[in-house]
Structure 1
Amino acid sequence: MSWDLLNIIGTVAFAMSGAIVAMEEKYDLFGVWLLALITAFGGGAIRNLLIGVPVSALWSQGGLFLIAILVALLIFILPQLFLPHWTRWGVLADALGLSAFAIQGALMASAKGLPLSATISAAVLTGVGGGVIRDLLAGRKPLVLHKEIYAMWAVMAALVIDRFELTNPLHLFTLLGLITILRMLSYYYEWNLPARRLGGDKE
């Protein structure tokens, strides 16, 4: 049940994120659906390739695809219900998606008995991969590469799961809440990793 809930939470949150970015860029309905689906499933597809899970496993998630399509359609049809609140609640949706998918990816690699490096890679790719593809398709610089502490929270989820071998649903959802809170704090207080730039240009 915990696996299913993580899947649903991450899918809804990332589908919302992809759909709203598409609408901000004035994409049509097909574009909204495309970005919603890519944001929700793109990271998982890349993860599957790297940890040896058949890519065809993605197509067994028909219910989740339907959820993502319906979420994107609702946002497209009734933007007045979602867009005014996105500035306030968008970071929460994004944080939930990051946390849920990072934990899911780490659990998947851990269950296959893969080493820590693979667990971290699976967590990061599942948590941020779809968002990176979304930003590239929308012509934006991927957030994870230049601003705020983002992917590091996925790394933290992987380290905790690998170190303590978490499987208890209560422990997993406690970790979900912790990663979500830390992601939101890093957004609101503008925590950033150190960055270096060549030349004299400054932002």
Structure 2
Amino acid sequence: MTWEVLSMIGTVAFAISGAIVAMEEEYDILGVYILGIVTAFGGGAIRNLLIGVPISALWEQGLFFQIALLSITAVFLFPQNLLKHWQRWGNFFDAIGLSAFAIQGALYASQMNHPLSAIIVAAVLTGSGGGIVRDLLAKRKPLVLNSEIYAAWAILSGLAIGLKIAISPLELYALFIIITSLRVLSYTFKWKLPIRKLST
């Protein structure tokens, strides 16, 4: 049940995120749906390829595709004046998606008895892979690579699950809240990882 709920939260959050970015870039309705779907399922597809899950497993998630399509439709039909608040709420949806999918990816790898390193990679790819693909398709610099702390929180999720710190549903929900809160704090207060620029 925990896995299903987290998957649903992440799917809705990232589908909305992708749709909004597409609308900001003035894509047509087909582009909005494609970018929303790619954002919601891109990270899971990349994860499946790397940890040995058949890519066809994605097509078995009929309910989640329907949820994603409904979410995108709702955003597309949303009043224009309310969408102007996306700058504030968009990062929040992205934080929810990152947290939910990172935990889901780590759980997936853990249940397949993969080592800690693979669990962390699965968390990072599931949590941030869809966002990277979204940004690349929208011709933007990937948020995970150049903005406030992002992928580090997915790594933290992988560590917590890989080291059996979070096991029970209650612990996993607590981890979800913690990771989401850390991501919100990191973009609110502009926390950044060290950067080294090369002089030209």
Normalized against structure 1, the TM-score is what? 0.95
- 1:77 Cα offset (Å): 1.8
d(CA) in 2 for partners of 1:79, 1:196: 43
Contact 1:10 1:96 in 2 (8 A): yes
Aligned residues: 200
**What is the match of residue 117 of structure 2?**
117
Contact 1:99 1:180 in 2 (8 A): yes
**What is the match of residue 64 of structure 1?**
64
**What is the match of residue 106 of structure 1?**
106
Contact 2:166 2:175 in 1 (8 A): no
**What is the match of residue 171 of structure 2?**
171
Residue 198 in structure 1 maps to residue 195 in structure 2? no
d(CA) in 1 for partners of 2:169, 2:44: 21
Amino acid at match of 2:136: L
Residue 21 in structure 1 maps to residue 25 in structure 2? no
CA RMSD in angstroms comes to: 1.1
- 1:12 Cα offset (Å): 0.3
- 1:85 Cα offset (Å): 2.6
Deviations 1:121-165 (A, max 9, x none): 000000000000000000000011111100000000000111125
Q: Report 1:29-178 matches (<5 A).
A: 29-80=29-80, 82-164=82-164, 166-178=166-178
Q: 3-state DSSP class of the match of 2:163?
A: helix
Q: Which runs of 5+ in 2 are unaligned?
A: none
- 1:91 Cα offset (Å): 1.7
- 1:7 Cα offset (Å): 0.7
Amino acid at match of 2:63: G
Deviations 1:77-114 (A, max 9, x none): 22426513322222221111000000000011111111
Contact 1:105 1:119 in 2 (8 A): yes
Amino acid at match of 2:107: L
d(CA) in 2 for partners of 1:57, 1:92: 29
Contact 1:75 1:82 in 2 (8 A): no
Amino acid at match of 1:56: S
d(CA) in 2 for partners of 1:53, 1:165: 25
